Amino acid sequence: MKKKVLFYLGILIAWFPAFSQTDNSVSAITEAREQLVRKNHEKSYVSHILTGKRYDLKYRGAVNSQFFRDIYPSYGTLVYDGVFFDHIEIQLDIYQEKVVVLLESKNNEQFVTIDNEKVSELTFNNYKFVHIRHDSIMSDGLYQHAFQGKHSDTFIKRTKLKKDKIENTKMIIEFVPLDKYYIKNDWGTFAITNKKSFLKAFQNSEAVVSIVKKNKTKFSKKKIENGLLKAVSLLDPLLIDN
């Protein structure tokens, strides 16, 4: 492709004396060059520059904040429109389900929200999120990929609800976590809400019943996440290929 570009540039340079007589000719050369660059850019499958809409922090002082884990951005990685971005400042607003990144230029820097549809994967602080699409159980969107095994994966849909309340005549905004848990394995995708649904995800096998019983795994509302991740990490190596 490099030789082809040089060939066309050679033609344009050869044409230059003929076009240099008038301003219109110069414009024609400039336009031809731009079209050539654009054409070769499209053929090379290079992604367009990372862009987004300005992100304003609207809920200062809120209880828990709208972000996942930390109110401050962390350095992480991002796969956006097929392009890998390394060491980029990133946050995840799970109330609005928006990926927030810091864009820097020579004279300016600002936090922006980017197009979720173009986000395939992001990581920060040892957390990994992936974009799930076209699943029969999980709706399209970003999920934490909390466990990845040979036979099973655990995904968590991280969301927060905003609650407004008045205390001593002062309006208080609180963000309350509302997480949903899923297992994707050799038998399909399963929503996990309690012990019964977890056992069902693994066909009520003797191995899964034994592990849950032996480890006294709890699936109560407050303990379901720890119990689920511990149980599936112990169970996955015991599963055999279909």
Residue 20 pLDDT: 45
Q: How far, in Å, are 11, 18, 22 from residue 28 at the CA level?
A: 14, 11, 10
- Residue recorded with tokens 């205390």: 167
Q: How far, in Å, are 15, 59, 192, 234 from residue 181 at the CA level?
A: 65, 27, 5, 17
Sign of the dihedral defined by the CA atoms of residues 210, 213, 215, 219, in that order = positive
**Of the candidate ranges 24-33, 157-166, 170-179, 186-195, the one whose mean pLDDT is the lowest:** 24-33
Whole-angstrom distance, CA of residue 35 vs CA of residue 97: 38
The pLDDT of residue 19 is above 70: no
Whole-angstrom distance, CA of residue 213 vs CA of residue 64: 35
By DSSP bridging, strand 109-113 and strand 53-54 are antiparallel
Residue 109 pLDDT: 82
Residue 51 pLDDT: 84
Residue 32 pLDDT: 60
What confidence tier does 27 reach under pLDDT thresholds 50, 70, 90?
Answer: low
What confidence tier does 13 reach under pLDDT thresholds 50, 70, 90?
Answer: very low
